[in-house]
Structure 1
Amino acid sequence: MTFLDDFLIRAALAGVGVAVAAAPLGCFVVWRRMAYFGDATAHAAILGVALSLALSLPVTVGALAVAVIMAFAVSQLSHRGMALDTGLGVLAHSALALGLVAVSFVQGVRVDLGAYLFGDILAVTKSDLAVIWLGGLAVVALVAWRWSALLTATLSPDLAHASGFNPKREGMVLTLALAVVVAVAIKVVGVLLIGAMLLIPPAAARPLARTPEAMAVLAGVIGITAAITGLWAAFAFDSPTGPSMVSAAALLFVGIGVITRLKHA
């Protein structure tokens, strides 16, 4: 077996696809301080997995449906006056617990919960790869199309109104894009690590970028590097693949941070 075996090439392409989709969206997660929002949406996806198994549907379909419902539920709670972090915490942990319980009641199906919690990128099939890349490209296209409006609404809702943009509508765009990324990434890094791939590459890219566009591109490069490096490390050291990818991203974050501090010392 070599690193260039077919299943490893599919795994690498899947990791790259998730990194490309997560990079621009992750920038808005960082700018808007939505890290917990991403975690809550991702945790809810396990409930979608249970729904898919019970109804014999593709996992991506159930995960996407529940992720969308979860994201909009959190948005409604925040608009009704509940503290956002409280609403996110309640919904995130409740959805994860309910999902795990629901999966245990699915009859006639053997479920490897570890694959959904931490990902199983080495088991990605050609059809999974198609879903990941189609979903990822759809997210990139959506964010690129609404880039100016999203950026303006992120900077200032008042400025967005003055520019003819609806901040609530742009928030809906981000919510939908986040749900799609969660749905396509569940097979790669799992529901517990999706938030890390959304957050860490943009956070690492932030000190290096002078413009928002540059930050999005650099986040993509860092995410791709982390995906390939983590996959290689998992192959070389027989470690879990999803956590290895996130660990690689974390090391890049620390390394860039140290270099940046030394440069400005």
Structure 2
Amino acid sequence: MLESFLVRAALAGVGVALAAGLLGCFVVWRRMAYFGDATAHASILGVALSLVFGLPVTLAILVVAGAVALLVFVLTDRSLAADTALGVLAHGALGLGLFAVALTPGPRVDMEAFLFGDVLTVGRGDLLLIWGGAVVVALVVWRNWGLLLISTLSPDLARAGGMDPRRASLLLALMLAGVVAVAIQVVGALLITALLIIPAAAARNLATTPERMAFAACAIGAGAALGGLGLAVAADAGVGPATVTVALGAFAVLTAAGRLRRG
């Protein structure tokens, strides 16, 4: 019989993978990979704030990641180019966060779990948070699918149809911040962007419609989460890096198969 902590780890990985798969498609379509980095790196600053003010880690990360998402939304709409604003915030937030953690009083904090994930320590409360977040993301995407998709394909077409593409961008930014906040235990701040991008990129080789790509990305992400957990246990390695390794293998296989099929 499987150990209970392995069952919790598997459920947590699948929950995060489903939310990341849905949003990852929009990250790939909109070329927002750097946005994922910015919010993920900002989560380390959230860890520092949780230590200083005694806040729950997830709440502190959610606040900081959400603030960074809003800041990126404002900056990229004003004077700075998107890649410049995201680059400054991504690397600046990571450096500031690590520096702030080093300055916090008390025992030295081991940052490895926050950087690379520690899904084996997930408890029942964490599972409720992860799956609650996944359900919220799925419902928001489902209810706003037309707005999100048309705004991604053509902001001008969205405006012509009476839609506000800025609202779509803000929704995506806030949902990505939420996924980062709950995913840090599973894959860590340095690897969450990989879980957003790689399954969605792999799904491109299977899907002929946006809806099918979204479902395929969720399935590939969930398979990578379960396969990564098994690989980590077998190899006595970190679950976060193992999950990304499995996802990368799926991307390589599906990309090669897609090219052979088209060739």
TM-score bracket relative to the smaller structure: over 0.9
Question: Please, what TM-score do these two structures have when normalized by structure 1?
Answer: 0.97
User: In the TM superposition, what is the alpha-carbon distance from 1:81 to its structure 2 partner?
Assistant: 2.3
The superposition leaves residues 51-105 of structure 1 with CA deviations (integer Å, 9 ceiling, x where unpaired) of 1121111111010000011011112111112121111111111100111111112
Residue in 2 that maps onto 1:105:
103
Q: Which sits farther off after the overlay, 151-160 or 74-83?
A: 74-83
- Which residue of 184, 193, 212 maps to 1:186? 184
Q: Secondary structure at the match of 2:220?
A: helix
1:1-265 pair list within 5 angstroms = 4-265=2-263
**Is the 2:102–2:108 contact (alpha carbons within 8 Å) kept by the matching residues of 1?**
no
For residues 172-222 of structure 1, what are the alpha-carbon distances to aligned partners after superposition, in whole Å with 9 as ceiling and x for unaligned? 110111010000101110110000000000100012101111000000000
- Matches of 1:104 and 1:127, distance apart in 2: 28
- Structure 2: tracts of 5 or more residues without a match: none
Superposition CA RMSD, Å: 1.0
Cα offsets for 1:2-51 (capped at 9, x unmatched): 7x111010000000000111111110000000011111111001101111
Helix, strand or coil for the counterpart of 2:76?
helix
Aligned partners of 1:107 and 1:132: how far apart in 2? Answer: 30
**SS of match in other structure, 1:81:** coil
Determine if contact 1:136/1:184 at 8 Å carries over to the other structure. no
**Residue 109 (structure 1) shift:** 4.5
Alignment gaps of 5+ in structure 1: none
Q: Normalized against structure 2, the TM-score is what?
A: 0.98
Q: CA deviation at 1:110?
A: 4.5
Q: Which runs of 4+ in 1 moved over 4 A?
A: none
1:53 and 1:141 map into 2 onto residues whose CA distance is: 33
CA contact (8 A) 1:26 1:199 kept: yes
Q: Matches of 2:82 and 2:156 in 1, distance apart?
A: 21
Helix, strand or coil: the match of 2:75?
helix
